Amino acid sequence: MYHHNVIPSLWNKLQIIHLIIDFVVEIETNSLSMISLNEGRFNRLDYIYKLHNDGWSNLDISTHLNDRGILTPTGKKYYPNLVWGTLSKYRKRLERYKKYKVIGVKETVWVELD
């Protein structure tokens, strides 16, 4: 005699597994909230910075910019003290852009069964 064993269907035994990974990364920085400058402003600052690194004085730079018709963002002419201030702020921006430190990384992993 043949016995029929009842084999339960597997479709109702399946479980949905959710693997959840949560990361928290803490970074300390002195970076500016405004990460990038518009292209025109960046090009002007970079040009002034290059002239300064090539040995030009602030007076030479201001005269050169004014002779070429390059104005400040507010539409005024350059003068030596303004070039000095512009260079000082640009150097600080470059320093802040590079410095950051990872304080901590927390990783949490858990599994949820439905």
Residue 6: predicted pLDDT: 53
Residue 79: predicted pLDDT: 95
pTM for this predicted structure = 0.56
Burial, 93: exposed, middle or buried (Cβ in 10 Å; 0-12, 13-18, 19+)? middle
22 phi and psi angles, rounded to 5 deg: -120, 125
Residues (pLDDT < 50) of the chain are: 1
The beta strand positions in 1-114, using DSSP E, are 17-29, 100-113
The domain segmentation of the chain, as residue ranges, is 28-103
The predicted-structure confidence for 77-103, as pLDDT tens digits, reads as follows 999 999 999 999 988 888 777 666 777
DSSP secondary structure code for residue 59 in this structure: H
In angstroms, the CA 53 to CA 94 distance is: 14
Residue 111: predicted pLDDT: 74
